[in-house]
Amino acid sequence: MQYVIMSDGKGSRWNHYLGITKQEILIGNERLIDRTVRLIRERVTAPIFILSSNSNHESRGATRITSSYSSSLHKMYGYEYLNTGTTFLYGDTFYTISAMETILYNGEKDVVFYGNEHAIIGLKANNYMLLKNVLDQIDPSSSLYHAFDSMEEQRQFISVGDAYFNINSPYDYEQFLQKQKRLLWK
């Protein structure tokens, strides 16, 4: 299994707030991207990649990679690096320890989605060839989760409840700061 932190979005809702990207915001004294890498590294010994064209997203313990694809989904999932089982996480999501452990240690079906009724915050492709086949066939404007609707035997959904926080905009970040202490202990 390898781990890919997807951090190559445009950040248009963030609009370079505070003069940094979302992945660079500080959680205590640690950048969000560094925290995500650390949480993975403390729990597994496997390659960690940060999929980003931004050199500011480099982090100790991970290798930054870029995708040469122009298709949005192929680029988003680093299609050319999808050659083994891969777990995908988002660079702009704050994962509690509970959420991270759920993602790292659970999910046996071919493709496993993690999240709740509001959002998907992780994807584990135990069968990377199945994911590649779906990425080749799906309309880029479609939901990847729903692309597996006819494959219930191969798809699994695992709830992480509210043990995460998506940071997409300055407003989200301000809300996160108010809830941060509660989330850090989950």
Give pLDDT, residue 182.
Answer: 64
pLDDT value of residue 75: 92
Residues in a beta bridge with 112? 124, 156
**pLDDT-based confidence at 140, cuts 50/70/90?**
confident
Q: Which burial class, exposed, middle or buried, applies to 125 when counting CB atoms under 10 A from its CB (0-12, 13-18, 19+)?
A: buried
Q: Which domains does the chain have, with CATH numbers?
A: 2-184 (3.90.550.10)
Cβ-based neighbour number of residue 37 at 10 Å: 24
- DSSP letter at 54 equals -
Which of the residue ranges 59-63, 73-77, 96-100, 132-136 would you say has the lowest mean pLDDT?
73-77
Confidence bin at 46 (pLDDT 50/70/90): very high
Mean pLDDT (whole number) for 165-186: 81
Q: With 90 as the cut, is the pLDDT of residue 11 above it? A: no
Please check the confidence at residue 67 and state whether its pLDDT lies above 90: yes
Helix (H) or strand (E) holding 27: strand 26-27
Read off the pLDDT of each residue in 43-64 and give the average, rounded to a whole number.
Answer: 97
Give the pLDDT confidence score for residue 13 in this predicted structure.
Answer: 85
What pTM did the predictor assign? 0.94
pLDDT tier at 12, thresholds 50, 70, 90: confident
Does residue 133 carry a pLDDT above 90?
yes
Q: What is the mean pLDDT of residues 25-31?
A: 91
The answer to whether 134 and 140 have CB atoms below 8 angstroms apart is no
According to DSSP H, which parts of the chain are helical? 32-41, 72-76, 97-105, 128-137, 144-147, 170-184
Report whether 109 contacts 155 (CB < 8 A): yes
Identify the residue with better confidence: 87 or 174: 87
Q: Compute the distance between CA of residue 105 and CA of residue 103 in angstroms, rounded to an integer.
A: 6
Report residue 84's pLDDT band, with 50, 70 and 90 as the boundaries: very high
Question: CA nearest 184: which of 155, 168, 157, 164?
Answer: 164
pLDDT above 60: residue 48: yes
Average pLDDT rounded to a whole number, residues 117-144: 95
